[in-house]
A and B are shown apart, each in its own frame.
Chain A
Amino acid sequence: MARESSIAAGTVIRGRIQAESDLEVLGQVEGSISCKGALEVGEGALLKSSLEGRRVVVHGAVAGDIRASESLVLEPGARVVGDITAPSIGIRPGAMVRGHVHTGTAGAAPAAGRPQQAQADRPAARPAAAAKAAVVPERAAPKPSAEAPRVAGKPMAEQSRLAPKPAVVEAKIDPPKPRAVAGASPEATRRMPPAPVVPRTPSEGQKRSAGAKPEPQAAPSPVLPSLARRSSKTTRRSSGR
């Protein structure tokens, strides 16, 4: 049966798809698709998954990274939010991309090397933005959005002197923010716990030191309580910072 594999329009798949042959997707897939043949994402398709294929053609919407070992073509009407990697990439007029675009002969090596280069290009801006995103993910939503463009604006203006890179860098600045705020709420929730943990531990330490106070106070020696107070003050100061 040389029938072509097809995920029809009304079909929803949650999970992993591995294809040794060609695959056409017109429905919805949440998970990942790995295809050793040609992978065609049809019009009306909605994929929340990473795609891998030899030749990938996209007419529909993809939220996730796309990696093609041979070629990738984004046809008119395609909407892609995610990084795209292929030796040859075609983006037709009318296709939308939001993410890092990477063309190159080798598939894996440059993909790992390039982001480091991009970080090295603007070492000050990237970690700062990343730190802000990590420390203040959702509590003060307006603040990072107000500050981030300024931070983002500076390197873009600096790098606009360099001819080809800004488009790539500009595209790359955008995705992390929506991912941190709206796109990937699990990421945000993962980041949330560490932030509260840092202030909590000193406060718990204060409580412990406060709880430890009565014992030395009850003890006759006057030296120990003063030490305990000092230590509690220092912990308060450190927590304040």
Chain B
Amino acid sequence: MAATVIGQGITIEGEVTATDEVVVAGVIRGKLTAEGAVTIEAEGVVEADIGARSVSIGGSVTGNVTAAERVDLLGGGKLIGDVKAARLTIADGASFKGNVDMDV
């Protein structure tokens, strides 16, 4: 409930730090850090490094993604950047360019 929602039409240029969940349907440029889950919806555009417990990407992300638990790149999602996470799923129809580090 106490999620931070960056809705459509919202543009943030700077650093976002959250203790809970973050949902992005708008634009974030800078840096995004969350102790909870980060969800980038289909309309969302993130040009920032993302650090979170888990990251779900349905929109467009340009930047490195680091997750303590998992990263899900959904269909229609686009990721340009390196991924560091224990688990990674890339759905059919997603586009991805970058390196993967799964801490093997």
Q: Which residues of chain A from 1 to 43 have any CB-CB distance to chain B below 8 Å in the complex?
A: 1, 3-21, 23, 27, 31
Find the A residue at minimum CB distance from B41: A1
Q: How large is the interface on A (under 10, 10 to 19, 20 to 34, 35 or more residues)?
A: 20 to 34
Per the bound structure, the CA–CA distance linking A15 and B33 in Å amounts to 14
Residue in B12, B16, B25 whose beta carbon sits within 8 Å of that of A1 in the complex: B25
Interface centre among A4, A7, A13 (most CB of B within 10 A): A13
Contact A13 B17 (CB under 8 A): yes
Per the bound structure, the CA–CA distance linking A17 and B16 in Å amounts to 10
Kindly provide the distance from the CB of B61 to the nearest chain A CB, expressed in whole angstroms. 18
Residue in B5, B15, B19 whose beta carbon sits within 8 Å of that of A5 in the complex: B5
Q: Which residues of chain B from 1 to 51 have any CB-CB distance to chain A below 8 Å in the complex?
A: 2-20, 22-23, 25-26, 30, 35, 41, 43
Find the B residue at minimum CB distance from A27: B4
Contact A18 B10 (CB under 8 A): yes
Find the A residue at minimum CB distance from B6: A5
Contact B3 A6 (CB under 8 A): yes
Contacts of A7 in B (CB 8 A): 4
Residue in A6, A10, A13, A14 whose beta carbon sits within 8 Å of that of B5 in the complex: A6
Contact A17 B20 (CB under 8 A): no
Contacts of B4 in A (CB 8 A): 6-8, 11, 27
Asked if A16 meets B23 with Cβ closer than 8 Å, knowing A11-B4, A27-B4, the reply is no
Asked if A14 meets B15 with Cβ closer than 8 Å, knowing A4-B7, A19-B10, A20-B9, the reply is yes
Kindly provide the distance from the CB of A60 to the nearest chain B CB, expressed in whole angstroms. 15
Contact A13 B15 (CB under 8 A): yes
Asked if A14 meets B14 with Cβ closer than 8 Å, knowing A5-B5, A7-B4, A9-B2, the reply is yes
Asked if A5 meets B26 with Cβ closer than 8 Å, knowing A10-B19, A10-B20, the reply is yes
Per the bound structure, the CA–CA distance linking A14 and B7 in Å amounts to 18
Kindly provide the distance from the CB of B14 to the nearest chain A CB, expressed in whole angstroms. 1
Kindly provide the distance from the CB of B34 to the nearest chain A CB, expressed in whole angstroms. 8
Find the B residue at minimum CB distance from A19: B10
Contact A8 B14 (CB under 8 A): no
Kindly provide the distance from the CB of B58 to the nearest chain A CB, expressed in whole angstroms. 11
Asked if A19 meets B16 with Cβ closer than 8 Å, knowing A6-B3, A8-B4, the reply is no
Per the bound structure, the CA–CA distance linking A95 and B59 in Å amounts to 41
Contacts of A8 in B (CB 8 A): 2-5, 18, 20
Per the bound structure, the CA–CA distance linking A21 and B8 in Å amounts to 8
Contact B15 A15 (CB under 8 A): yes
Per the bound structure, the CA–CA distance linking A20 and B43 in Å amounts to 15
Residue in A12, A14, A17, A27 whose beta carbon sits within 8 Å of that of B10 in the complex: A17
Contacts of A6 in B (CB 8 A): 3-5
Contact B16 A13 (CB under 8 A): yes
What 5 pairs between A and B have smallest CB-CB spacing?
Answer: A15-B14, A10-B19, A20-B9, A5-B7, A11-B18
> B: which residues have CB within 8 A of A?
2-20, 22-23, 25-26, 30, 35, 41, 43
> A: which residues have CB within 8 A of B?
1, 3-21, 23, 27, 31
